[in-house]
Amino acid sequence: MFYSFFFRQYKKQKFRVFANSLYIKKGYNSLDEKFGDYTSLSVFASKTFFRKWGLTSQIKGENVGQLQAKQSKLIDLIVSDQYFGLPNFLEKQNATGGKKLFFIPQISYSQNNFTIFASYEIPLYQNLNGVQFASQQQFTFGINYRFLTKECPPEIKL
């Protein structure tokens, strides 16, 4: 797994720009199948109003790779699927993976160490391989509490 985060703040304008990326390299399961690697890239812009309110806009792209099998097991998977009356491995493989692009606006209110937020995920583009469930709009509401540590004064040695 690889994760990165970049942040830039403009204090006078109360404006922030940040980005993160995530890459998950999948491994093979006990059937020698490997579900596709996952890649995500998000870019955010955030502005604070009236010291406690925040608006954030996010553009998020996702890429999910296709199902794979070890070359030595590919024939076994195809034959066993036919034997048990299951969809052919190649059919399953062609119905996995895809690319998605989302727009996610968010509003938040902060008081002391608490933040209350709501976001709405809107799919802008989806290119899925084969027949799959597509993403729909998603509403998220949450409460966040930050545990801030306080710096202890240095000990005085006698």
Reported as a single tens digit per residue, the pLDDT across 77-116 is 555 555 555 556 666 767 788 899 999 999 999 998 899 9
Please, what is the end-to-end C-alpha distance for the chain in angstroms? 49
Global pTM reads 0.74
Amino acid identity for residue 155 in this structure: E
Tokens representing residue 127 in the block: 């290119």
Going by the DSSP 8-state scheme, the letter that residue 71 receives in this structure is G
For the stretch 115-148, pLDDT in tens is 999 999 999 999 888 777 778 889 999 999 988 7
Going by the DSSP 8-state scheme, the letter that residue 29 receives in this structure is -
